Amino acid sequence: MEISEAQLLKLLWAIPRLKFELLDGFWKQESARLLNKSQERTLIAVNMHHDKCMTELSKFTGVEKGSFTHIVDTLETMDYLIRKPDAADKRKTILELTAKGKAYVRELDAAIRQYFDAKFSVLSAAEREQFFHACNTIISLMGKILS
């Protein structure tokens, strides 16, 4: 089956909406957490990609490098993370969570899981598996397209 450019573009435009509705919806909830959305996303990025330099992490979070540096400065001052020189390339800086940062990420992860459990509760187990495989397919093909 041949897919038209219009069909493909329609699907591609649905991806940001999916991200907005699912991920950003979590941060729109009222909460008593101490950090803002950008700070929390930075901690999540450091936790997930602890071997990546600051430039790569800023791309992962969707924050410009200058703003990302300010977020990192604040989180470092608040003792959530530390900077370390990259052992392989001294020009690069690697971020590492402190014990306080790891504890915060554990609590945040639990809250995110609870949020997603509620969101995905409307799907059957088979539908959740189908969604998971579809997302993995997109990620896999995205890597191929963008390389």
Flag whether 23 is in a domain. no
The 8-class DSSP code of residue 24 comes to I
Residue 53 has what pLDDT?
Answer: 87
Across residues 71-86, what is the average pLDDT?
96
Predicted confidence band of residue 7 (pLDDT cuts 50, 70, 90): confident
Across residues 126-141, what is the average pLDDT?
91
Domain count, the chain: 1
Domain encompassing residue 55: 34-121
| Percentages of the chain per state (helix, strand, coil), in multiples of 5 | 70, 5, 25
Predicted confidence band of residue 80 (pLDDT cuts 50, 70, 90): very high
* Cα distances (Å, whole numbers) of residue 90 to 5, 28, 86, 87: 45, 39, 5, 6
Instruction: Answer yes or no: are the C-beta atoms of 80 and 61 closer than 8 Å.
Output: no
Q: Which CATH number belongs to the domain containing residue 101 in this structure?
A: 1.10.10.10
Structure tokens given for 92: 């690069």
